[in-house]
Amino acid sequence: MPQPRFYQLIQESRQPAMLIRLSDLSFLGNNTLCNELLSSSEEIIEASEFYCDLLSQLRKPLELGLSFFNSEVISDNRIILLSAEIREDYLILYLQEKYSLNLPSHHLVNILDSLGAYVYCKDLNYRYTYANEMVGKLFGQNNRSLIGTLDCDNFDPSSVKTIRDNADRLVIENKQLIQKEEVLFIPNLNEVRTFLSVKQPLIGNNNKVVGLFGISTDITHYKAIEQKLNTILNNVSAYIYIRDTKHRFTYANKMSQNLFQLSMKEINGKTPVDLLGNFNGKEFQRLDLELFKTKKKVEGVEQFITEGKTYYYWTVKAPLFNDEGNIVSLIGMSIDITEQKTLEVELEKTNAKLNTKIDEITQLQATLWEQATQDPLTNLFNRRYFNEISNKEIIKYNRNENPLALLLLDADYFKKVNDVFGHEVGDKVLIKLSQIMIEQCRRSDIVCRFGGEEFVILMPAANQTTAIER
């Protein structure tokens, strides 16, 4: 079949070119420069994936009836700029390498597709130049069909603004490495998803940015768990917090934030000393030091003094380790026990007063008992005590059949002593008699002043012989 006259035109062109029949978009040939650009022969180019991608880029402009237009297509690691011109029934394409993307090799592409994360590249116009299979599935498309599309083709306007303004623009325009969470609405899934995205600039020749490379991980499930955990922690009647090995807060639940009257953003990175001052701050770091030293859970009472009032907290702290077994932080839980501690102090004071009263009552009871059972002159037991103890001893005698002796003593002519020498001398005589009886009796014997100059000695476990000896 004779070659169309435009075939010679592309052969003579000073830039890579190819010729396509418009009626069926069949490949008619290309020049040597095109072979060099694509590193392929005509036969290979016609059957290549590049040519299929090229045709998919051409269909829309052709459907719109454009006679001249520009487009782009990826070939290996490069973006090829296409200048299309319609001549009669033919389409002449002039090709030019726009820039190298340094895209992953075929082997690396397979790795990225099985990575379990969304991997993508964009050019300076924020068009996708690469997307792995997971990105395609997220948008419900073949990942290769995403090449050349914009975020507005795949996200809602609000999400596009989030992506562009909070991340992509900073990467491309400022060469920043970005790591942040992105909350995006996915129209294909009709869901809001949360992604942890890491994006960095792609650097081309002359150290110029040619695009960005990004990896995003879907953390929606973990954020839901985190939200539930936060709900629990924020509704627990306790102060819960996490501090690193330099005592800096990295987390504080709502109750802790309310205690400091600060937001988490204001608390983050601060130490207790920063927030409470040197005295109170070091008190709240006391258990931290013990934990970091022992690498074990610690617990105890912490106190906070403000405006002359002391607040008490029962605190439990546990270490948090990294994979190497090193402590990286601690988690603490504190409960306000000020009311209990105040009651405890008041109770101790009340107990002390009560014990004093009990001692006084006990002493009073002993005094009253002595007064009720003891003769005030001789300090011997009195008649009342004798009546009580004798009944008990008789019961023991009847039960155990132990011997029991009773001695009755009467001081003769005692009235004459009082009459001649006076009652004071008579009292001294009675006291002396009492001392003699105590000295001569056994420890178990009970000596009583029965009345006046009459005495009774009750001798448990004493037979007649023993009693006579006394």
- pLDDT tens digits for range 146-170: 888 899 999 999 999 999 999 999 9
pLDDT at 107: 60
pLDDT at 436: 86
Q: How far apart are CA 261 and CA 281, in angstroms?
A: 16
pLDDT digits (tens, 9 = 90+) for 335-345: 999 888 888 88
Give the 3-state DSSP-derived string for the chain, with helices as H, strands as E and coil as C: CCCCHHHHHHHHCCCCEEEEECCCCCEEEECHHHHHHHCCCHHHHHCCHHHHHHHHHHHHHHHCCCCEEEEEEEECCEEEEEEEEEECCEEEEEEEEEEECCCCCHHHHHHHHCCCCEEEEEECCCCEEEECHHHHHHHCCCHHHHCCCCHHHCCCHHHHHHHHHHHHHHHHHHCCCEEEEEEEEECCCCEEEEEEEEEEEEECHHHCEEEEEEEEEECHHHHHHHHHHHHHHHCCCCEEEEEECCCCEEEECHHHHHHHCCCHHHHCCCCHHHHHCHHHHHHHHHHHHHHHHHCCCEEEEEEEEECCEEEEEEEEEEEEECCCCCEEEEEEEEEECHHHHHHHHHHHHHHHHHHHHHHHHHHHHHHHHHHHHECCCCCCECHHHHHHHHHHHHHHHHHHCCCEEEEEEECCCHHHHHHHHCHHHHHHHHHHHHHHHHHHCCCCCEEEEEECCEEEEEEECCCHHHHHHC
Q: How far apart are CA 285 and CA 279, in angstroms?
A: 10
Domains and CATH numbers, the chain: 5-98 (3.30.450.20), 106-223 (3.30.450.20), 238-341 (3.30.450.20), 374-469 (3.30.70.270)
pLDDT at 267: 94
Q: Given strand 17-21, what is the order of strands in its sheet?
A: 27-30, 17-21, 90-100, 78-87, 68-75
Is the torsion defined by CA of 221, 226, 229, 231 positive or negative? negative
Residue among 235, 348, 331 at smallest CA distance from 288: 331
CA separation, residue 368 to residues 144, 264, 358, 365 (Å)? 107, 69, 15, 5
Q: How far apart are CA 58 and CA 79, in angstroms?
A: 15
Close Cβ partners of 36 (under 8 Å, ≥ 6 residues apart): 16
Under-50 pLDDT residues of the chain: 1
What's the pTM?
0.46
Close Cβ partners of 72 (under 8 Å, ≥ 6 residues apart): 57, 79, 80, 81, 82, 98, 127, 148
pLDDT at 450: 84
Per the DSSP assignment, residues forming a β-bridge with 454 are: 410, 451
Q: How far apart are CA 45 and CA 48, in angstroms?
A: 5
Q: How far apart are CA 33 and CA 80, in angstroms?
A: 14
pLDDT at 243: 94
- On whether the CB atoms of residues 85 and 133 are closer than 8 A, the answer is no
Q: How far apart are CA 61 and CA 341, in angstroms?
A: 81
Close Cβ partners of 274 (under 8 Å, ≥ 6 residues apart): 281
pLDDT at 271: 94
Q: Given strand 454-460, what is the order of strands in its sheet?
A: 404-410, 454-460, 446-451
